[in-house]
Amino acid sequence: MATTGRLVSRLAMVTGGGSGIGRAVCRRLASEGASVVVADVCEASANETLRSLPGDLRGQAHMAAAADVASKESVDNLLTSIQARYFQPPSVCVNAAGVTQDNFLLDMEDDDFDRVVRVNLKVGPPPDAVPSPASDSSSSSSSSSLQGSFLVIRAVARALVASGAPKGSIVTVGSIVGKVGNMGQVNYAASKAGVEGLTRTAAKELSRFGIRCNCVLPGFISTPMTDKVTEKVIGKMKSLIPLGRMGEATEVADVCAFLASDDARYVTGASLEVTGGLFMG
């Protein structure tokens, strides 16, 4: 993992930072010199990530915080606590929180659909369903991908505009499932497609304030969730990927770090696929 110091003097907030892709993003941003706020619904997981971070290059301590991104009050309190400690809003925000509740469309109840879009009660996938590409459910967050993304983007953008900050970068971790669908995940796919639309619209509205908004769409990524998948299913998944292997959370984090940095200063409203070529064309 290269360390270039591209984020020195930046304050970054990562939701779902307690595990999986979110934890990898926290480590990557910290390695680039950012001060990192690790936000997760499970405070113990956030603190575990915090202990693994390298010291930032400004000598400013990192921070862990318990936050449920499906709650407006919790998100607003998180931003207030960050500004009280650092005297500025985060200029980098990565939304990596999200969970699944899978079932086939014919068997899915209204409440099961709504929980993923609004409240997200985490359960395991149906027995015959292919595991989700890019499922960020390795995070311990109990939040909704769509509602949580909206609340976080709005809160961070409001704080940046109010402070007069000249620029900001908001990155949301979506999923290739939102673009191509996946068996047993009609609710998850719908929420991730919504996240893309939300991000593109936010990019158009916030560009005049110097705030860039982009999506990262992972494919099949090795996380604690995929550790439970049988070798037979893993082999089938790999056969679908042109590069012939599962992705790593660190590879998703590398793309997030790029989008957060000035190297991507002319990139906004984009969705970058991190899939090893899965579903291309």
Tokens for 249, please give them.
Answer: 């959370």
Contact at 8 Å (CB) between 188 and 100? yes
C-alpha span between 129 and 127 (Å, rounded): 6
Q: Where are the domains of the chain?
A: 11-274
What is the amino acid identity at position 73? E
**Residue 2 pLDDT:** 58
Rg, Å, the chain Cα set: 17
CA triple 81-82-83, angle to 5 deg: 95
The residue to which tokens 């000035």 are assigned: 262
Pairwise CA distance, residues 242 & 124, whole Å: 27
- According to the model, what pLDDT value does residue 125 have? 36
Q: Return phi, psi of residue 223, to 5°.
A: -140, 175
pLDDT at residue 137, as a whole number: 42
In order along its 281 residues, the chain shows pLDDT tens digits of 556 789 999 999 999 999 999 999 999 999 999 999 999 999 999 999 999 998 744 445 899 999 988 889 999 999 999 999 999 999 999 998 765 555 555 555 566 656 555 433 222 333 344 455 554 444 333 335 556 888 999 999 999 999 999 999 999 998 888 888 766 667 677 778 888 999 999 999 999 999 999 999 999 898 776 777 788 888 888 898 999 999 999 999 999 999 999 999 999 999 999 999 988 76
The residue annotated as part of the active site, out of 188, 191, 261, 275, is 188
The whole-number pLDDT of residue 63 equals 95
pLDDT of residue 62: 95
H or E stretch covering 93:
strand 92-95
- CATH class of segment(s) 11-274: alpha beta
Q: Which pLDDT does position 60 carry in this prediction?
A: 56
Per-residue model confidence (pLDDT) at position 229: 75
Count the neighbouring beta carbons within 10 Å of the beta carbon of residue 74: 18
Cβ of 54: how many Cβ atoms within 10 Å?
13
Q: Is position 188 annotated as part of the catalytic site?
A: yes
Residue 230: predicted pLDDT? 82
Length of the chain: 281
